[in-house]
Chain A
Amino acid sequence: MEVSLLLRRTGFGTTGPEIEAATGRGYEPTVEALLNPGPDPGVTATPPPDLSGEPARPPGPDDKQARATYAKQLRSRSAALTLWWLDRMVRAEQPLVERLTFTWHGHWATSVQKVRSPAMMLRQNETLRSLGRGDFRELARAMARDPALLVWLDGQKNKKGRPNENLARELMELFTLGVGHYSETDVREAARALTGWRVDRAHATAAPVPGGHDDSSKTVLGVTGDLDDRSLVDLLTARPESAAFVATRLWTRHGSAALPADTLRRLVAAYGPGRDVTALLRALFLDPAFRADRSSLVASPVEYVVGVLRALHVPVPRDGRPGRALLGTLNALGQVPFRPPSVGGWPSGIAWLSTAATKERLTFAGAVARKADLDPVARSKDRPEAAAYLLGVDTWTDRTLAALKDAAADPVRLVTLALVSPEYLVR
């Protein structure tokens, strides 16, 4: 049972065959396999979309036709990007990489709604994926220069003389330290350290503005010097509060609700002076508090939707009406990749249990169940048990078992109900 929990919290749901394979391998070897993914045919099969050739922004407000064309291009490129990532999540055979990339996306929460460049969002996504399992400082260094993040938090408008504090504040509050571990003066000084960057929309890149950086002395958290983005990130990520902050964030998304103090100590120790995210995750998955937990994390909408499609082998529609419908489902559930509601990211846990979401999940589950090949359930003598195996559910409560038995004559109805059951939703 602890192996199935591990698989659910490192991927997007799981299935009976996956649980069997991991059980055969053993818990610790499964953790190592998750942390050391080899070549993944599902990844190879889902190359990112070509988003080069960023459409030119319309010159002014007067040309309504040009504005409408631009908005339409933006919508369709944005949809292509989001559906690609969902497809990658569904087809990846070793899903931890995508799951962790999604965690980092919620951490460095950036929305295409303001950035208005799917190409920059894709670039950020690739950065989160390639640097998200190593030294957290490397990730933070790259993010401080990430074009999409610069646009999102007005970093490219942060100029010598009259700085814009947006990025500096969130870099400390939400990305590296957590609220309460810096002063207002630190924010103002850090903003000066971050001056002098511009974004090239046509190429989705960021570069220093010659002579644009405020190179006078600054003092942040007691460190004085001509701080720039690099040295600022280095000093922030070296703070002990930063280690606890990163550990807490990863526990919230992959561990459980409450974080025991001794677990936090172990996670911070594993993260160590090298800020090693993979070592932290290993410690997290091997921690007694993680292994002892029972189902307590509510699947986020993305985890839920991707998990359903994975388990039932239903492909992600990459365009057209079906593609729009899938994005509509995620929108109604309150979580569309590349569109977090604020720089604070998405909520987690019981916040996803709203009445409206229950209704939306039911509609989605029914539609997917009708598309899926449910033969393995239909052929089984014990259909509720076959559904549990299909969806990687450990055991049904008597309540759910009774509901599924009553629906057993109709595999589509049975699987739909299984997909909206509390047992499937809480992992």
Chain B
Amino acid sequence: MDTLTRRKFLLASGVTGAAALAVGASTVGWREIAGRATADPLPADANVLVLVTLYGGNDGLGTVVPYADGAYHDARPDLAYGEDEVLALDDQLGLNPAMKGFKSLWDAKRLAIVRGVGYPKPDHSHFRSMDIWQSGSPDHPANTGWIGRWLDATRPDPLRVVSVGATLPPLAVGTKAAGVALPLTEFAAPTGPIGAGVRQLAAADPADPPSQAMAARATGTLLSATAAFGPPLDAASGSSDHTDDPSAGGQSGLGRQLEIVSRCVKAGAPTQVYAVSLGGFDTHADEKGTQSRLLGELDSAVTGFLADMDKDARGSKVVVAIYSEFGRRVAANASQGTDHGTAGPLLVAGHPVRGGFYGDQPSLTSLDAGDLKVTTDFRSVYGTLLEQVLDTEAGRVLDGTRPTLDFL
């Protein structure tokens, strides 16, 4: 199967993430992380990148609000925030009212807002656009993620990239290695006679067809990846009846995911890149309430995490970058929501960050079929993160590099 067909196939069957396992990705537990944190900790002066993926297409105009622009109010009479509501950043733009913590970061000059971020020929499919962001390759399909290629290009050690949650996002998949998925709940390895039996089943057998061999290996990982490091985390709390629209994927409980990242960083885990996510941003209808609740969750989770990091020596090296697969249409639809759009703001926060605006604010009147025109290529942001946070020349990971930005 050629690359394009394979990619379409993966998309069509909803198994994009599964490509990860083909190159030997696995889940790990605290023991493995803790063991490595002791034996081979991350050097104290190493930077750490935390990528926050917002699934569903976060509405950029409801995040960094052009409150002073009449065209904004005209396009969204029922959705627009007024001057008295936003957390003003200057006389044109303000943050969503739910983002009080980000406003404090802005005031402390630790929040960079990169405006109008996207890629050429925007795709309006959730799955495809997310694939482009995670592969970092808008021009041609790629079966690897941009962080996975960073692993390939530097040192292909899976533990250098940790994704919190049950499955590994495509961004963490390389050719030589893939990151690891760290589950939210801890579990104990089976013991006694049944444990002995499971141990036997984990062995490879020459008669195993490939998938069967992988099943045996997964059983083996259970045995190597369990036992406790610190007190076990609470079981996933009842998110089963929350009302955010889950139709475009992503997880809930961002605060808990970042709590796990915090514990790893403090323990000296050998990890330089962490990936976490929040879903529910596909606000085709009744956007205002949903988005402000989600941005509130993002706000408390990220600013809480950074405050926690401030108390740790390694915290001054942590940079958080927040993106979504696209922004949304400028004009509201008739259901108090917005349809899939293009460019959006990308937020970067942390001690090393030089706060302020980067990139031009897209015009609300000069549109591309109702959508914002991209002013900043996302490879400029990736390039900056690669060079300034991960100390890697952007050209080794991205083809078609763009000028880097000054936010770090």
B241 & A417 in contact (Cβ 8 Å cutoff): no
B269 in the interface (beta carbon within 8 A): no
CB distance from B140 to the nearest CB of A (A): 13
Binds A, one of B46-54, B182-190, B291-299, B383-391: B182-190
Binary flags per residue of B229-266, CB closer than 8 Å to A gives 1, else 0: 00000000000110101111110000000000000000
Given contacts A249-B13, A344-B249, A359-B222, contact A399 B216 (CB under 8 A): yes
CB distance from B178 to the nearest CB of A (A): 13
A298 in the interface (beta carbon within 8 A): yes
B27 & A351 in contact (Cβ 8 Å cutoff): no
Given contacts A165-B284, A166-B284, contact A184 B241 (CB under 8 A): no
CB distance from A224 to the nearest CB of B (A): 19
CB distance from B121 to the nearest CB of A (A): 10
B205 & A397 in contact (Cβ 8 Å cutoff): yes
- Inter-chain contacts of A106 with B (CB < 8 A): 14
Given contacts A154-B335, A161-B334, A417-B198, contact A356 B219 (CB under 8 A): no
B225 & A355 in contact (Cβ 8 Å cutoff): yes
Give the distance in Å from the alpha carbon of A61 to the alpha carbon of B194 in the complex.
Answer: 50
**Residue of A whose beta carbon sits closest to that of B128:** A179
Contact of B127 among A249, A344, A348, A416 (CB under 8 A): A344
- Inter-chain contacts of A179 with B (CB < 8 A): 8, 11-12, 125, 127-128
Give the distance in Å from the alpha carbon of A384 to the alpha carbon of B206 in the complex.
Answer: 20
B219 & A422 in contact (Cβ 8 Å cutoff): yes
B241 & A71 in contact (Cβ 8 Å cutoff): yes
Binary flags per residue of A225-258, CB closer than 8 Å to B gives 1, else 0: 0000000000000000000010011001000011
Contact of A420 among B22, B198, B250 (CB under 8 A): B198
A347 & B125 in contact (Cβ 8 Å cutoff): no
A358 in the interface (beta carbon within 8 A): yes
**Residue of B whose beta carbon sits closest to that of A347:** B15
Give the distance in Å from the alpha carbon of A358 to the alpha carbon of B335 in the complex.
Answer: 43
Interface size on A, residues (CB 8 A): 82
B246 & A154 in contact (Cβ 8 Å cutoff): no
B204 & A399 in contact (Cβ 8 Å cutoff): yes
B240 & A331 in contact (Cβ 8 Å cutoff): yes
Q: Classify the secondary structure of B's interface with A.
A: loop
- Inter-chain contacts of B14 with A (CB < 8 A): 106, 344-348
B247 & A342 in contact (Cβ 8 Å cutoff): yes
Give the distance in Å from the alpha carbon of A224 to the alpha carbon of B317 in the complex.
Answer: 58
Given contacts A346-B14, A417-B201, contact A166 B213 (CB under 8 A): no
Contact of B196 among A152, A159, A353, A406 (CB under 8 A): A406
Give the distance in Å from the alpha carbon of A361 to the alpha carbon of B307 in the complex.
Answer: 39
Interface size class of B (residues with CB under 8 A): 35 or more
B331 in the interface (beta carbon within 8 A): yes
Give the distance in Å from the alpha carbon of A366 to the alpha carbon of B195 in the complex.
Answer: 12
Contact of B240 among A113, A245, A407, A410 (CB under 8 A): A113
Binds B, one of A46-54, A289-297, A308-316, A371-379: A289-297
B248 & A342 in contact (Cβ 8 Å cutoff): yes
Given contacts A173-B125, A356-B27, contact A347 B18 (CB under 8 A): yes
8 A Cβ contacts from B21-55 to A: 21-22, 26-29
B332 in the interface (beta carbon within 8 A): yes
B104 in the interface (beta carbon within 8 A): no
- Inter-chain contacts of A21 with B (CB < 8 A): none
- Inter-chain contacts of B284 with A (CB < 8 A): 153-154, 157, 164-166
B13 & A113 in contact (Cβ 8 Å cutoff): no
A135 in the interface (beta carbon within 8 A): no
B211 & A350 in contact (Cβ 8 Å cutoff): yes
B334 & A162 in contact (Cβ 8 Å cutoff): yes
8 A Cβ contacts from A126-163 to B: 152-154, 157-159, 161-163
**Residue of A whose beta carbon sits closest to that of B123:** A179
**Residue of A whose beta carbon sits closest to that of B216:** A422
- Inter-chain contacts of A406 with B (CB < 8 A): 196-197, 200
A399 & B200 in contact (Cβ 8 Å cutoff): yes
CB distance from B36 to the nearest CB of A (A): 17
- Inter-chain contacts of B181 with A (CB < 8 A): 354
- Inter-chain contacts of B124 with A (CB < 8 A): 169, 184, 187
- Inter-chain contacts of B11 with A (CB < 8 A): 178-179
- Inter-chain contacts of A202 with B (CB < 8 A): none
Given contacts A351-B167, A421-B201, contact A295 B212 (CB under 8 A): yes
Give the distance in Å from the alpha carbon of A75 to the alpha carbon of B242 in the complex.
Answer: 12
Give the distance in Å from the alpha carbon of A358 to the alpha carbon of B166 in the complex.
Answer: 12
A353 & B167 in contact (Cβ 8 Å cutoff): no
A343 & B247 in contact (Cβ 8 Å cutoff): yes
Of all A-B residue pairs in the complex, the 4 with the closest CB atoms, nearest first, are A157-B335, A403-B200, A351-B18, A342-B249
Given contacts A164-B284, A351-B18, 18 further A-B contacts (CB under 8 A): A154-B284, A159-B333, A162-B333, A163-B333, A252-B13, A348-B13, A349-B15, A350-B214, A355-B221, A357-B218, A358-B222, A397-B208, A399-B200, A399-B204, A403-B197, A403-B200, A413-B197, A417-B201
By a beta-carbon cutoff of 8 Å, the part of chain B in contact with chain A is 1, 8-9, 11-15, 17-18, 21-22, 26-29, 124-128, 166-167, 181, 183, 185, 187, 190, 193-194, 196-198, 200-201, 203-205, 207-219, 221-222, 225-226, 240-241, 243, 245-250, 279, 282, 284-285, 331-335, 337, 339-340, 369
In the complex, 23 of the A-B residue pairs with CB atoms within 8 angstroms, ordered by the A residue number, are: A71-B241, A75-B240, A111-B246, A163-B334, A169-B124, A178-B8, A180-B8, A180-B128, A185-B369, A252-B9, A341-B249, A342-B250, A350-B18, A350-B22, A351-B21, A399-B200, A400-B200, A402-B200, A403-B200, A421-B201, A422-B219, A425-B215, A426-B209
